[in-house]
Amino acid sequence: MLEVLKPYIKEIDTPLDVNLEIPHLAYIEAKKKNPKILLFKNPVDGDKKFDIPVMMNIFANDEVVEKIFGKNLDEIAKEIEELIKMKPPKTLSEKLKAFGKLFAIKNTIPKSVKTGECQYHIYEGEAAKLSRLPILKTWEKDGGKFITMGQVYTKSLDGETRNVGMYRLQVYDDYRLGLHWQIHKDSAHLFWEYKKANKLMPVSIAIGGDPLYTWCATAPMPPGIFEVMLYGFIRGKNPKLVKCISNDLEVPADADIVIEGYCDPEEMEIEGMFGDHTGYYTLKKPFPVMHVKAITTKKNPIYYATVVGKPPLEDKYMGYATERIFLPLLKTTAPDLIDYAMPENGVFHNLILCKIAPRYPGHSLQIMHSLWGVGQMSFVKHAIFVDEKAPPLRDYENLTRYILNNFDKEKILISKGIVDELDHSSIEELVGGKLGIDATSKELKKERKLEILKDEELLKKLQEVEPLIENVKQYMIDTKNPICVIKFKKEKSAKEIFKSIKKFKENLRIVIFINTDEIDNPYMLVWRVTNNIDALRDIWIDEIIGIDGSNKNELDGFNREWPPDVDTTPEVIEKLKSLGLIEGISQEELRKYQVI
């Protein structure tokens, strides 16, 4: 596979440190218009040199993703849809076609092999040191070094169910890792089986090999279905798995590195902080511990890693693949769903855009509830629905205009449900508000006409009643529902400021409050606001609509700890600049994406 990807790989010969330097350069690369895969040939840790190179950003761009999958993503989705809709064949040609589809299913069954490339070098006992590997510390406030692209293999207590997921793993010392198994994830469910039985749980981590295995580890497959089977379906050949040296699990035979061990369900240790894909740090919390018993590698292994933080990053392209391939499965739950998109600056679970074919009143509400009950879709916080007349879902500017022209506060649904464990803004941990907006075209009631002022005039008018307002910026003023973003000093809550300005109904329709610096940066504004709001607490529907996208504290009745932003370390950025390694991206883009 790496031979196929060779034209997209940029080799870095300059020695760079696994602590911040390598991940910072990969972070910047991912924000370029045409990112490359980076191969760091000389990773170091202070004075220590590694003989294993580091590869980052392997899902670099759309073209690379298509090379990894071996075909167009929509083709894969079509094959899945044809399987779902397959009917009993009647004619000979239909039977032959059906046979071909069923033959493809045969390829999903994993094949056990006696030996694998991943076991060329074997290190057991004291020799199985994690410090052999160029594991990265990505962000300054991280609790330590983390494996970020590990395929974590587990199985049920009875051995009937196998699972692989991609979870971060914190290095505690040479022989112990923190397993970040979020409470909703399949590995956590299997963990509780072992805990109840008071038995040790085998765990193996595969790194590298065919990148498609890594994507499969992130795929939102239904519970009980081994994600590796999806590899076989896409590749058209059986996945080859080899039994581990020290436990009874199987991993891909072509993995570059395998870390084997076990987890004692009674042992928990503080894990974190970690700069996560939300663009915020996830806070310290107890998680299970893995004890390392063996490490095996290829003859010449490569250590794969990813960097997460503020968008856009590599997960943009991995998430897009998931979005396309799983559309047919979502349609089985919501047949009138035409398409959906999960913008990366909505960090996927914070915002979903859906195009539907509405057939009756309340149809959007029905699909909202349907999606909020499906697997990982249940973590989605904000869902906006449009109809067939709307622009393409990734034509964000025109789509936003369409939504605002069809927006009606009577068509807003706010409810309560589960949220992702990484969500930091919810009213309580794991439980928070859900927002659904029906922006399908309809006959809107006549709205009062707005008097749109220039930003400077509006700012002056608002400051007369609320001096804490620092700046305003209006967007989409040519629509029926313009948006006004207000930046304020957080010396009182946004809700108090909203109460004092909502009388300006002749000038305002939708108002968003922030206390950070995204007012002139719509891309990062979406990121900030969708991260920061809990619909039950932060949306106020009156003659104007208020949305509190500010960072929360005790002024808002928020008593949980609010996490810090994931930010680069200026000294590291300056060093990379001085080495001539930051190129192909403008200062303006670096500022836009909050790199500097």
Q: Which of 438, 471, 502 is the last residue of a domain?
A: 438
pLDDT of residue 374: 78
- Domain assignment present for 250: yes
- Domain assignment present for 578: no
Structurally, the chain folds into a number of domains equal to 3
| Secondary structure (3-state) at 374 | coil
- Asked whether residue 378 falls in the same domain as residue 417, the answer is yes
For residue 430, the enclosing domain spans 334-438
- Domain assignment present for 564: no
- Asked whether residue 9 falls in the same domain as residue 54, the answer is yes
Task: Using DSSP bridges, classify how beta strands 250-252 and 240-243 pair: parallel, antiparallel or unpaired.
Answer: antiparallel
Q: Which residues of the chain have a pLDDT value below 50?
A: 95-96, 99
Q: The pTM is what?
A: 0.94
- Domain assignment present for 405: yes
- Asked whether residue 434 falls in the same domain as residue 469, the answer is no
- Asked whether residue 428 falls in the same domain as residue 466, the answer is no
- Asked whether residue 364 falls in the same domain as residue 468, the answer is no
- Asked whether residue 61 falls in the same domain as residue 127, the answer is yes
pLDDT in tens, 13-43: 999 999 999 999 999 999 999 999 999 999 9
Q: Which of 265, 288, 305 is the last residue of a domain?
A: 305
CATH (domain of 410): 3.40.1670.10
Catalytic annotation, pick one of 276, 438, 548, 556: 276
Q: Which of 438, 471, 488 is the last residue of a domain?
A: 438
Mean pLDDT score of the chain: 94
- Domain assignment present for 310: no
Listed in order, strand segments (DSSP E) in 300-381 are 303-305, 337-341, 352-356
pLDDT of residue 453: 96
Is 174 designated active site? no
- Asked whether residue 170 falls in the same domain as residue 69, the answer is yes
Contacts within 8 Å (CB) and 24+ apart, 399-405: 399/353, 400/476, 401/476, 401/478, 401/479, 402/439, 403/437, 403/439, 404/476, 404/479, 404/480, 404/481, 404/482, 404/483, 404/510, 405/479, 405/480, 405/481
- Asked whether residue 138 falls in the same domain as residue 238, the answer is yes
- Asked whether residue 462 falls in the same domain as residue 429, the answer is no
pLDDT in tens, 368-382: 998 888 788 899 999
pLDDT in tens, 558-573: 999 999 999 999 999 9
- Asked whether residue 210 falls in the same domain as residue 273, the answer is yes
- Domain assignment present for 133: yes
Distance CA 405, CA 437 (A): 13
Instruction: Name which of 167, 208, 197, 285 is nearest 54 in CA terms.
Output: 208
Distance CA 573, CA 576 (A): 5
- Asked whether residue 215 falls in the same domain as residue 350, the answer is no
Distance CA 234, CA 237 (A): 8
| Secondary structure (3-state) at 375 | helix
pLDDT of residue 96: 47
Amino acid at 252: P
- Domain assignment present for 595: no
- Domain assignment present for 274: yes
CATH (domain of 272): 2.30.110.10
- Asked whether residue 423 falls in the same domain as residue 470, the answer is no
